[in-house]
Amino acid sequence: MFTVFVDGQEGTTGLQIKERLDKHPEVTLLEIDPAERKSVDARQALLNAADVAFLCLPDSAAKESAALVTNDTTRLIDASTAHRTDPAWVYGLPEINAEQRQRIAQSRRVANPGCHATGFNLLVAPLVARGLLHPSTPLSCQSLTGYSGGGKAMIAQYEDADTEQRARLQGPAHYGLNLNHKHLPEMQAVCGLALPPVFTPVVGPFYQGMVVTVPLHAAQLTMPNRHAEAVRDALAEHYADSTFVQVQPYNVEGSVDGGFINPQAANGTNQNQIFVFGHGERILLMSRLDNLGKGASGAAVQNMNIMMGLPEQLSL
């Protein structure tokens, strides 16, 4: 039995992690007295008493909490963006290459990926690593997500809105229009890209669920057969042994979900479903995932299982 502390369990990701850990057969949760949530001494004691601690905090607070660990035994999983490109931390996306799972298993510091970045990296990184897409290729990406991805403030904005504001929030809304979204550094670094993608996130009027889309011209690929089906087959080969990344059959008509991709169809799972549509001229790569599952808390628990030598799918 392992002891686990969730530092910041009141936030959206922290609550979801705790929900998964409550039914985990190999975990004992260390709870902080609500009156001491802001006590540095109380938090430090629990951080150093835990076998594993999740940091579900803003970036600056996550860095502060990481510095409070003074022993050589507590293993940290940071759900913030603070350490995702830090070479001292291992990037917590075990499916990204053949070595990553072992790196996570051996590490004391793991940075949980961002939700948009998870969908993008699982589509693009294998193509770059296999030499099928040159690292200097300019890419674009659009990601549609439920409003829970914005945390408590955005959830309140959608669910507690007055009549006028509610009407304004009925349709999808583009954001991050300064093109400096916080997930861009990890998207570029993990995929080994020379340039960050032009990334357009979109929030929809639904609680959770996500679809990440990367369009390609077949001419951008360096593989001999540049047809969409060949790209799908390359991704299927890469993820053949994966429990949580599932490459869907090639569908020449694009008739999945009656011609519409439902962004909520992977909700409640830790799955990332990959679709490849198109033909020999234009190709569409798509990832569908639960932004609160494989995009956040599910991925964090998966990383914990790997780090502690437990079955990867336990409690997921």
Quote the Cα angle for 157-209-215, to 5°. 110
Catalytic residue among 56, 115, 141, 191: 115
Separation CA 296–CA 291 (nearest Å): 6
Separation CA 287–CA 303 (nearest Å): 20
The b-or-e profile of 124-157 (16+ CB within 10 A means b, else e) is: bbbbbbeebbeeebebebbbbbbbbbbeeebbee
Q: Report whether 314 contacts 308 (CB < 8 A).
A: no
Provide the angle, in degrees to the nearest 10, between the axes of the packed helices 151-159 and 12-22: 100
Q: Residue type at 32?
A: I
Helix or strand run (H / E) with residue 112: none
Helix or strand run (H / E) with residue 297: none
Residue 264 is encoded by which pair of tokens? 């909520």
For residue 79, the SS3 value is coil
141 annotated active-site: no
Separation CA 301–CA 315 (nearest Å): 8
Catalytic machinery residues: 115
